[in-house]
Amino acid sequence: MTLIKSISGIRGTIGGKTGDNLTPIDTVKFAAAYGTWLKEQSGNKKLKVVVGRDARISGKMIQELTMNTLTGLGIDVIDLGLSTTPTVEVAVPLEKADGGIILTASHNPKQWNALKLLNSKGEFLDGEAGAKILKIAESEGFNFSEVDNLGEISVIDGYIQKHVEEVLKLELVDAEKVKNAKLKVAVDAVNSTGGIAIPALLEKMGVEVIKLYCEPNGHFPHNPEPLKEHLQDICELVKKENADFGIVVDPDVDRLAFIDENGEMFGEEYTLVACADYVLSKKPGNTVSNLSSSRALRDITERHNGKYEASAVGEVNVVKLMKDNDAIIGGEGNGGIIYPEAHYGRDSLVGAALFLTYLAEKNQKVSEIRKEYPSYFMSKNKIELTPDLDVDGVLKAVQKRHAGEEISTVDGVKIDFPENWVHLRKSNTEPIIRIYTEAKSQQEADELAEKMIKEIKEIIS
């Protein structure tokens, strides 16, 4: 059982001892720290925070604790109930709120939950703000309100539908064109709130929906991370129902994966590539993803005469670089689409709507669209180290060995070779180096990873 505190929030398993797990006391402490930080920023004005949750079994309990802690600090709360991460992100500015909290552990199994924190723009907090909140939580420097100054909770039902309507307003989303294409799509929402959101969007766009695991009861029928090894059921359903393709989302609906008409994975790295291809075909511009995402996005961006940049890993880093470079689309290779015309956050509803419009416009099969993109294959490994080892020194030694190649040190060390790349990152929580490689065949990617592991071991010895 585990409790992980980071600048992006607090995440842990339900039950067990305080301080070791996400217990009610830990939930209250962290919610109080966030509320206290907001009050410090506000100059004593009356504050308002949006709170929503995915369908996890523990979600209602964690939400009640969080909301009542905030009202105890004199902060008003807007309760969205069952929601998605991007829905809460959209709701914060629409409701003119001062912040937001999403109660979700994303792709982690059902025993996990988390508090993810947003600023007044509906964007994840930066490192400086996150560090301050952790410090407040440790010091327990809370000052709760007296009885006449308690906050109030307002319930707003149906915000997912409002989110759907916002997506349909986007210039590059054409519901009529999709309706005329008469598409049939299977949806696996792992029994969380994507089971509300994705079918609602598709039905508004005139798509015939085949639902699989769309009951938002929090009982995940398979590992909720949308990877190939977890998605056999929907792959078979797409073929059985002769669907045009399948859509898969994680529990909080910020990661999006597609299954082609043959029941084969489109590739989560290629969700962003396909959406970017569509957007760039309409509006020239720049793109951003993180250093561990596929080179295919760079290739597609340059094909459209745009400029591609890579950020450090982490959504907040992607968003910052997108703003700095005026990127018109970006995201992460795990199926996260960030489209600034909607908002600066990963949003599976936006990604699905863009892809559906693109598919209707091209009038091709999903497998045919995938063949238009350069094929790359990834290998993800790690090497465990002794706690006393100088990991930064090891990475510098690797960098020195490959000084003649194109190297980025924005986040660890990334070496871009002409035909492939390797990205080495140290973990912030354990003595390991993560090793990501990409090449034009799986064998080549695996061999490059093995070569880098051997190099690191030589440096250590």
3-state SS, the chain, equals CCEEEECCEEEEEECCCECCEECHHHHHHHHHHHHHHHHHHHCCCCCEEEEEECCCCCHHHHHHHHHHHHHHCCCEEEEEEECCHHHHHHHHHHCCCCEEEEECCCCCCCCEEEEEEECCCCCECCHHHHHHHHHHHHHCCCCCCCHHHCCCEEECCCHHHHHHHHHHCCCCCCHHHHHHHCCEEEEECCCCCHHHHHHHHHHHCCCEEEEECCCCCCCCCCCCCCCHHHCHHHHHHHHHCCCCEEEEECCCCCCEEEECCCCCECCHHHHHHHHHHHHHHHCCCEEEEECCCCCHHHHHHHHCCCCEEEECCCHHHHHHHHHHCCEEEEEECCCEEEECCCECCCCHHHHHHHHHHHHHHHCCCHHHHHHCCCCCEEEEEEEECCCCCCHHHHHHHHHHHCCCCEEECCCCEEEECCCCEEEEEECCCCCEEEEEEEECCHHHHHHHHHHHHHHHHHHHC
Q: Please, what is the end-to-end C-alpha distance for the chain in angstroms? A: 34
Buried b or exposed e, range 146-183, using 16+ CB within 10 angstroms:
eeeeebeeeeeeebbeebbebbeeeebbbbebbeebeb
Nearest-angstrom CA–CA distance, 32 and 252: 23
Q: Which two tokens stand for residue 151?
A: 């906050």
Residue 6 annotated in active site = no
Sheet holding 327-332, edge to edge: 308-311, 286-290, 327-332, 336-338
Contacts of 321 (CB under 8 A, 6+ apart): 288, 309, 310, 311, 327, 330
Nearest CA-CA partner of 111 in 231, 221, 229, 1:
1
Nearest-angstrom CA–CA distance, 298 and 342: 22
Of 106, 289, 293, 294, the active-site residue reads 106
Catalytic residues: 106
